[in-house]
Amino acid sequence: MPTTPTPGLVPASTPNALLDAYVELWNETDPERRRAGVERLYEPDATYLFYRKDPIRGHQAIIDQLAYTQEVYGPMGYTFRSSHNAVGHHNVVRLNWVMVSGTTGEMEMAGQDVVVLGEDGRIRYDYQFHDRLPTSFVYNDGYEEHGVAVRSARPEKASQAH
């Protein structure tokens, strides 16, 4: 029997509301608001799967990934934007986003996530895919194609890369 959604959660029946909350979370710079957002959107034992890393599990690991994303892309002036095209059925939602330059407004990266929601409407599994990688910087995320960390992750502007 389905449970009643927890107050404050984004209902699965509004995929674009979920997408907007998701993108807002990835842009969040305040650690306390970031933590609250993760607790609101993700189940406590949620799994985030990014193709170049081992699965990330649980609130703290997801919070750490969000903080890392801000540490890397924030100083370069990038922010994430909703593509406002989320679709869903049953407990699965597909959503698209872009990362844009704050200076030029140009799209630097595009991706999509397929999220599986739990009975309370929070994300249980988050599968992320990149449709377009940035061209204005070297995408050095510290991982080789096999998903093993081999160096510190620090993307560099293309003009600074070796």
pLDDT digits 0-9 by tens, 65-112:
999 999 888 988 999 999 999 999 889 999 999 999 988 889 989 999
Give the angle subtended at the CA of 145 by the CAs of 116 and 127, to the nearest 5°: 5
Question: What pLDDT digit, counting tens, does each position of 24-54 carry?
Answer: 999 999 999 999 999 999 999 999 998 767 7
Distance CA 99, CA 82 (A): 9
Distance CA 117, CA 120 (A): 8
Is the CATH number 3.10.450.50 carried by domain 15-143? Answer: yes
Number of helices (H), then strands (E), in the chain = 3, 9
Q: What percent of the chain has pLDDT over 70?
A: 74
> What one-letter code names the amino acid at 62?
I
Estimate to the nearest angstrom the gap between the alpha carbon of 93 and the chain centroid.
Answer: 14
> What one-letter code names the amino acid at 147?
G
Q: Is the distance from CB of 95 to CB of 113 less than 8 angstroms?
A: yes
Q: Where are the domains of the chain?
A: 15-143
